[in-house]
């Protein structure tokens, strides 16, 4: 791994201690160039067959890239606009009834909680909230779905390994992978999950408006494609007889620009170009671990966490601390209502970024 060369791929890091990939990852210069190039072709040549062929090729590469990051086959991965979009597609597409129960945790993001609440109201089902650590043992015979984070956005804990046994028992598990995909190793087969929703704009450094949804092939017939439109249909010209694609393309978002896919693909290439994906994951995890240890030296108590890329801790005035950091060109965030600030640490960061943040704690 050559951390210096990976870091050099991200112009923002020249000046800014950017520690905010849990919201949006840094944008590589190569991705910005790929977007400009795609837009230039659109502007100068027009948007007709060659532009659409380019778009379709880019989308295939984007799908393959996401699949590789989670150990899946491309045909089991749909292109969405966000983690939340993938979650909505699962909750709307499952055949849920008033007698069903969904188990979730007390550390979930509004991207999951909003769709869960809407589903509960629409269907009349019950959502049961339990501690994050207890989601597996909370399953009962009424549980139709477990829906929780793979990595908690609060402090970076990892979902219990026992969820794989839940999945093996036949209860589908929907993992919100917003803080998992691109941040830690993800192997959907080992997780056993039926569904894994991820973001393109966070740890994969893609554009806002990209993401993916993995659907285990066993669930494809049981998860309705809620709005198969032009791009989701095998033969769009067949009118009312047109059927959705047999594979996960049936769940694709109806519109995804070539510019967005060009950014996503170029970013994905940058992330593996500098020493490989496994080394990048290890580096990010180790840096985060070192930062958590250094926090203790500075009199702060990191929130309970796992071997992930998020580190959170309490500040008396968390929003004020984030503003003070921003004034020093350090980008972190606070978690509203929890009194916590959170640093997101990627393989592109180095000790200088961490030291700048630690200096504010002295
Ligand atoms: C755990 C978790 N879930 C969902 C989301 C929402 O992600 P997206 O904007 O891709 O829907 C976030 C991001 O902020 C998150 O941290």
Ligand 1 atom closest to the Cα of residue 199 is: 10
> Could you tell me the distance, in angstroms and rounded to a whole number, from the CA of residue 149 to the centre of ligand 1?
10
pLDDT by residue (tens digit) across 39-57? 999 999 999 999 999 999 9
Stretch(es) of the chain classified as CATH 3.40.640.10: 38-271
pLDDT number for residue 3: 57
For ligand 1, atom 14, the nearest C-alpha belongs to 23
pTM over 0.75: yes
Average of pLDDT values for 100-106?
Answer: 98
pLDDT number for residue 1: 46
Stretch(es) of the chain classified as CATH 3.90.1150.10: 3-28+275-359
For ligand 1, atom 12, the nearest C-alpha belongs to 178
pLDDT by residue (tens digit) across 200-240? 999 999 999 999 999 999 999 999 999 899 999 999 999 99
CA dihedral 304, 111, 318, 285 (to 10 degrees): 40
pLDDT number for residue 4: 67
pLDDT by residue (tens digit) across 150-168? 999 999 999 999 999 999 9
For 164, the enclosing helix (H) or strand (E) is helix 163-168
For 143, the enclosing helix (H) or strand (E) is strand 143-149
> Could you tell me the distance, in angstroms and rounded to a whole number, from the CA of residue 86 to the centre of ligand 1?
11
CATH topology assigned to domain 3-28+275-359: 3.90.1150
pLDDT number for residue 5: 87
Average of pLDDT values for 131-149?
Answer: 98
Average of pLDDT values for 258-265?
Answer: 98
pLDDT at 361 over 60: yes
> Could you tell me the distance, in angstroms and rounded to a whole number, from the CA of residue 343 to the centre of ligand 1?
15
Pick the CATH number of 38-271 from 2.30.130.30, 3.10.180.10, 3.40.47.10, 3.40.640.10: 3.40.640.10
pLDDT by residue (tens digit) across 276-317? 999 999 999 999 999 999 999 999 999 999 999 999 999 999
- Whether 341 and 16 have beta carbons less than 8 Å apart is answered as no
pLDDT at 89 over 70: yes
Separation of alpha carbons 6 and 74, rounded Å = 26
Separation of alpha carbons 65 and 287, rounded Å = 25
């Amino acid at each position: 791994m050559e951390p210096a060369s990976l870091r050099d791929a991200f112009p923002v890091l020249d000046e800014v201690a950017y520690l905010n990939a849990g919201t949006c990852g840094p944008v590589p210069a190569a991705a910005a160039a790929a977007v400009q190039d795609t837009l230039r072709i659109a502007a100068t040549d027009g948007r007709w067959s060659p532009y659409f062929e380019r778009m379709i090729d880019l989308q295939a590469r984007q799908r393959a890239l996401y699949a590789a990051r989670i150990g899946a086959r491309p045909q089991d991965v749909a292109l969405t606009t966000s983690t939340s979009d993938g979650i909505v597609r699962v909750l709307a597409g499952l055949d849920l009834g008033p007698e069903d129960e969904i188990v979730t945790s007390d550390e979930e993001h509004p991207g999951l909680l909003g769709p869960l609440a809407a589903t509960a109201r629409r269907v009349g089902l019950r959502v049961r909230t339990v501690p994050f650590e207890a989601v597996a043992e909370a399953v009962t015979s009424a549980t139709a779905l477990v829906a929780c984070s793979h990595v908690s956005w609060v402090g970076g804990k990892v979902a219990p390994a026992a969820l794989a046994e839940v999945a093996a028992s036949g209860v589908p598990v929907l993992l919100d992978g917003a803080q998992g995909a691109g941040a830690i190793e993800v192997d959907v087969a080992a997780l056993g999950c039926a569904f894994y929703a991820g973001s393109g704009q966070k740890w994969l450094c893609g554009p806002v408006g990209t993401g993916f949804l993995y659907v285990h092939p066993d669930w494809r017939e049981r998860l309705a494609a809620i709005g198969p439109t032009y791009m989701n249909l095998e033969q769009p010209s067949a009118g009312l007889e047109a059927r959705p694609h047999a594979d996960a393309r049936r769940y694709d978002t109806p519109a995804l620009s070539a510019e967005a896919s060009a950014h996503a693909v170029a970013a994905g290439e940058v992330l593996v170009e500098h020493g490989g994906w496994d080394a990048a994951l290890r580096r990010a995890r180790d840096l985060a671990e070192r930062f958590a240890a250094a926090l203790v030296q500075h009199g702060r108590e990191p929130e309970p966490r796992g071997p992930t890329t998020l580190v959170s801790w309490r500040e008396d005035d968390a929003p004020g601390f984030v503003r003070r950091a921003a004034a020093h060109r350090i980008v972190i965030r606070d978690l509203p209502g929890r009194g916590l600030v959170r640093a997101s640490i990627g393989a592109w960061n180095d000790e200088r970024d961490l030291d700048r943040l630690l200096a504010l704690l002295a």
